[in-house]
């Protein structure tokens, strides 16, 4: 899938050092967007006139505030935020270290909440914008040996508010985030497509805001590159104003 031009658009990608986040960042740059990239790990895209790289921890509000302010300072405004940050620690609940449970909850749940709290007020004030959180099939169908991870990704799904322009998208690849392989570019294309389309429509409708597909199946395949392309396509349709029913949206 070839994304439309994103020239003039500004997009923040969180969790951009590897996997889906890195593939999404590359696809955005190819499509002409200005991107602010954030991660705790080293970023793969060097800074340039259209690329701003920062270290950010989704569990710390001050680093997210700094990311938001830096992106606005560099590009003038933000059109979309794509949150790809996520961690997994497989293992039986009775043998999984408590520290691993805390980390998954902190990054996958608290991180999602803090990203929303950081960028949603800005989009409300601006009157437009798209906020996309990458979820997992584990948030829909519990996965064996991944009870904690599945619980955290179900929590991510609850952050999808149609009336707020906030969406949660299941990952398309069967492989979990850090330390696993998958075709992140496919999901990146999906994310861009979602950020570009008007909110509140069902998939297949001309004005559909976010198209979501479960990971592990379907015609999109399971490779990161194809996933990234769909994420990028989400940012190509004109952004609609934030609805006046803010705070009353449901998934």
- And the tokens for 19? 């996997």
Reply yes or no on whether 122 is catalytic: no
Residue among 14, 127, 123 nearest 72 (CA) = 123
The candidate with the shortest Cα–Cα distance to 88, out of 173, 178, 218, is 178
User: Residue written as tokens 């960042």?
Assistant: 25
132 near 121, Cβ under 8 Å? no
Of 108, 149, 198, 210, which one is the catalytic site residue? 149
- Cα Dmax for the chain: 50
Catalytic positions, written as ranges: 149
């Amino acid at each position: 899938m070839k994304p439309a031009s994103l020239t003039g658009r500004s997009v923040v990608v969180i969790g951009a050092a590897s996997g889906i986040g890195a593939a999404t960042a590359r696809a955005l740059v190819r499509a002409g967007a200005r991107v602010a990239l954030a991660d705790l790990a080293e970023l793969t895209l060097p800074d340039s006139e259209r690329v701003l790289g920062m270290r950010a921890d989704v569990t710390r509000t001050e680093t997210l505030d700094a990311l938001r302010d830096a992106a606005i300072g560099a590009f003038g405004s933000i059109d979309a935020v794509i949150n790809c940050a996520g961690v997994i620690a497989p293992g039986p609940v009775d043998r999984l270290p408590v520290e691993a449970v805390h980390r998954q909850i902190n990054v996958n749940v608290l991180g999602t909440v803090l990203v929303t709290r950081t960028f949603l007020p800005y989009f409300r004030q601006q009157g437009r914008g798209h906020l996309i959180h990458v979820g997992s099939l584990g948030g829909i169908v519990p996965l064996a040996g991944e009870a904690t991870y599945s619980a955290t990704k179900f929590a991510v799904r609850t952050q999808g508010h149609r009336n707020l322009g906030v969406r949660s998208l299941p990952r398309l690849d069967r492989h979990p985030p850090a330390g696993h392989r998958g075709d992140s570019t496919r999901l990146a294309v999906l994310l861009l497509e979602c950020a570009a389309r008007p909110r509140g429509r069902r998939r297949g409708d001309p004005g559909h805001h976010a198209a979501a597909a479960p990971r592990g199946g379907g015609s999109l395949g399971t490779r990161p590159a194809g996933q990234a392309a769909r994420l990028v396509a989400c940012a190509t349709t004109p952004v609609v104003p934030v609805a006046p029913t803010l705070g009353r949206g449901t998934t």
